[in-house]
Amino acid sequence: MLLADAGFKLFDPVCAVIVGGYLVVSGLKILNEAFAKRGPFYFPIRKNTMLAVGMLSCFIVAFYAYRVIDNLSHDKVILVPAQGTTIASPVDTVLGRARYFIIMDFRANTMTLISNEVRLFNTDVSNNLVAIVRDRKVDAVIAYKIGTEMFADLHAEGVKMYYVNEPTTVEWVISDYQHNRLEVAMVPNVS
């Protein structure tokens, strides 16, 4: 529960399963004691009620177990800064001021291209990127460099970050990401 409170999204469903398990066990004990005092006439009602509660409990636990497994798998939506409009384009060396953002949604198997209209403005670009990440429900960002403010803003959104270490294309970065060959960004790499 402490990990879920600390902001680790993975532990939210785990915590829900644990708390739900305690509630189900407590509820079953209360039902069992309530029906035990009523006598043998209530035995069929007790049996059917316990069966229904047990089946519902199994469904709830299975649902949250599926959510835990789904959270353990790769992120479903990633954002890559690109110099061009296709996945054959080189990855842009800057994140917030990239020409384009390519968003890959692995669930829907779609690619979305977003032109970065604020890249040439003399404004804070991290707010623009965070708004895109939030609106598009991006789970992970892949970049060459992530500055201190950008890193803090993305981390606050619960977004995972990965570093690209050599010049490459968006297509290769996506392949490297799917094969777990990218460095996880634990701290910003530029000031």
Question: For the chain, how many structural domains are there in total?
Answer: 2
Give the per-residue pLDDT at 171.
93
Of 6-10, 11-15, 135-139, which range is least confident? 6-10
Q: Kindly state the tokens that stand for 159.
A: 């977004």
Mean pLDDT value across the chain: 82
Residue 71 vs residue 164, higher pLDDT: 164
Q: Yes or no: say if 1 and 18 are a contact pair by the CB < 8 Å rule.
A: yes
The residue out of 37, 72, 107 marking a domain boundary is 72
Residue 62 vs residue 157, higher pLDDT: 157
Q: Are residues 100 and 33 in the same domain?
A: no
Q: Within a domain: residue 189?
A: no
Give the per-residue pLDDT at 84.
93
| Neighbour count for residue 9 (Cβ, 10 Å) | 11
pLDDT in tens, 82-137: 999 999 999 999 888 899 999 999 888 899 999 988 877 777 777 888 999 999 99
Q: Are residues 148 and 62 in the same domain?
A: no
Q: Are residues 155 and 168 in the same domain?
A: yes
pLDDT in tens, 16-64: 777 777 877 787 787 777 766 766 666 677 677 777 877 787 777 777 6
Exposure class string for 27-65: b at 16+ Cβ within 10 A, else e: eeeeeeeebeeeeeeeeeebeebeeeeeeebeebeeebe
Q: Yes or no: say if 104 and 78 are a contact pair by the CB < 8 Å rule.
A: yes
Domain that holds residue 105: 77-184
pTM above 0.95, yes or no: no
CATH of the domain at 133: 3.30.420.130
